Amino acid sequence: MNDRNLTHLDETGRARMVDVSGKPLTDRIAVAEGALRCLPATVEAVVAGRAPKGAVLTTAEIAGIMGAKRTADLIPLCHPLFLTRAKVTIEADAALPGFRVRAETRTNGPTGVEMEALTAVSVACLTLYDMLKALDRDMMIGEIRLVSKSGGRSGDWRAGS
């Protein structure tokens, strides 16, 4: 890859936001996932509603949605997008043990929503950690990745394909 292929750099090597004004508006969807690993007792406390900070899963899901909406404020060269959907779901997973986090973001625009989905998962995991740290300081956030994306010039993509 030569420097001319690096779209976030201008001809002098300075960082810039890519101009997407000439790109067509298309429906775009991105799905990301991640996990928070913790002690089995921590999972049990959340499922039983005994976590000290209250409604852990609902709060983390809302935080993830807020994170998706604020992605352009957090990632320097990301375009601010009009999201038409931001959904975050968190499921307890005793086999992990911990929680699986999944986010889906959508827009109809000139650029993709992958960063919004990844940010949603990251913020939801961080919120889980914050709300559960009184129970378990040895938690680990990880496995955050893009699962799939559709729309735009590059078309559809799925992890592992």
Contacts 24+ apart (CB under 8 A), 43-46: 43/92, 43/93, 43/94, 43/97, 43/98, 43/99, 45/135, 46/92, 46/99, 46/132
Q: Measuring CA to CA, which residue among 93, 94, 79 is closest to residue 33? A: 93
Q: What are phi and psi for residue 110, nearest 5 degrees?
A: -90, -5
What are the residue numbers of the active site? 130
